[in-house]
Structure 1
């Protein structure tokens, strides 16, 4: 095409020439392009996507290229299929392999039209990045992170959770729905447990914000508030929304942290690097709260079982001592009877002698007998007093371990149909149960009952 560049033309004419050149060169052609998504918007009514395909320098993150892109018709259906297959929302910061065609518009300029998207590329790239991060964590932190038979073991996982978790540091976004769910579940537990929670606000999305989370872990450590556990939560999202928790710095900080870390970041599929490094990983913020309540409940059940065993054991000891005392008393009375009978016989024999001896001998024998009877009385009183002391000690122990004293310490008994129960299998939704506290009895109707798996109450 020959153009007279010296003769002025209208802008629309120039736009037409550009369109003609691009159309002749790229007509019926398409290209597979690797790029990141930026400035994405979606129009549900028309199912149209509008976004930029961008490329950044890997070292400085400076923008190298940017081309506006759109997706209509077949392209939008391919995006929908991508989201369904991967569980990822098509949006900003997502690296993709897409098929595009080139188009020029006189008003909107050069544009690309997305016609297809490769689902395997995105998932494969994320998994490769995750495995590289895990390999680096193991290699660079041999004292704190180990890999044995495909299972990661960290210093944080070796910490022991306290028997009762009460003081909790929470890392979360201040506006996160997950934080609300966690606090609601924790503070409205069925057992009336009370917790102290301190929230350390942090950005929990975007891989470039990893240092913000690490800084909050440092703040928790420096606070020296004797926290029982740290809970890292997020309200959920697609795998690409959770890239923050795949970062090396967060994984390293969690693995080395001296307080047990519990993660509940809202994922339903694969575990993140943060999950693999943490002491305990659950799926959601709600599950994190339920796990803590269940942990405390397990200790409470163990304590109640110990109390029950102590009462039974004390009753057994008391019954055995009572039987022993009864046996000893009977033996004593029998022995005393035999002794007195023998003495009576001796006295009778003596009487016959005294009939022939002076009155002085009779007087002396009577004194001996009185002294002997006195010693026998003192011995019997001392024995009975000693045994009564043993009985009083066992009675005091029983009173100490009585349900009334235990309930004054904050525990409760649960009664159903007039019987104290400890087996949750005997309670079903709709049942009426009585909760017996110190000085008060509460009648309740069971609304719900949840199963507990035993796990989901320590840089």
Structure 2
């Protein structure tokens, strides 16, 4: 057995000086706890992992272990009883989750663990969290403050959608039914997949560069939430919010919600509803004009009937007293009142006639047949589609529709606009 080392020699070997701190075990734990508690990254963070163990204590606390499937690293966690009672679901072993909490030191056994405040299933839960975080950030930047008024009677609108989407067909049918003759500029884009966000942004930029459209309609039919993910892309949201003309969105079904809807000036539930919002119904306007005209005629007739009744009553009263001068004066006043009423009626009827004539002229101006009678023509290919560009190969057969018939022609050469 070796001889014990003298105290003086042990102190010399340990090199105890004033510069070296001396802590108890509890002091070390407390110091580490203060370091972790002051770290802004660890005081509040989201962690994702796989539940490898999950146990509930008698007092209602939930103890679990999160494991990284790739590295095998483990992190202990605890959800106190008051938070465990608020969980929307109960985690199971093997389940991927995402948790919100604070990392600290458990002083009893000097191990670090995470005090968990919120627990969500990974996948849909993570996507929902990222959606809300991006939504809050963009709202704070003011990208959802667009409330520009929409034109009441636009002459030219633009549509950004897929040429193969059912929503584009719904928009065309709705616009033709409600507002025939409207000029529609179509800017095609992909509305699904990884390339969709950039494609949508380029389509919006094309509309802005063109400069003719008074309002922009961004549309896509319904689909699964992942199909609509491109309309939650920050690039698309910024392009809509920064567009120089008002934007209407018609994305998905009534239950769907995208960040593009928040950035738009008006968000409709469906592409059809967006098309109904962008233009009025000319037939409905004509019907309302007719109703107003009839209402005005009825009110004038009622006023004339009241005046006639008053005239009859006055004549009966004057017949009893026979004051010649009063009778004549009353008759003069009634005649003047009658003339004013007749003039007012004629004036109102004239205004209604002018309004009705203006609506009739507007409808006639929008009539495609009237346009043809003015000397214009419609050029279609053999499939019946309108030809809008001279880029046709020689030999292409075309049908030219005139006001009084059709001509079948063949392209021999083309000339570019100089």
Q: TM-score, normalised by structure 2?
A: 0.46
Q: Which gives a bigger RCO, structure 1 or 2 (Cα 8 Å, sep 6+)? A: 1
As a proportion of its length, which structure holds more helix?
A: 1
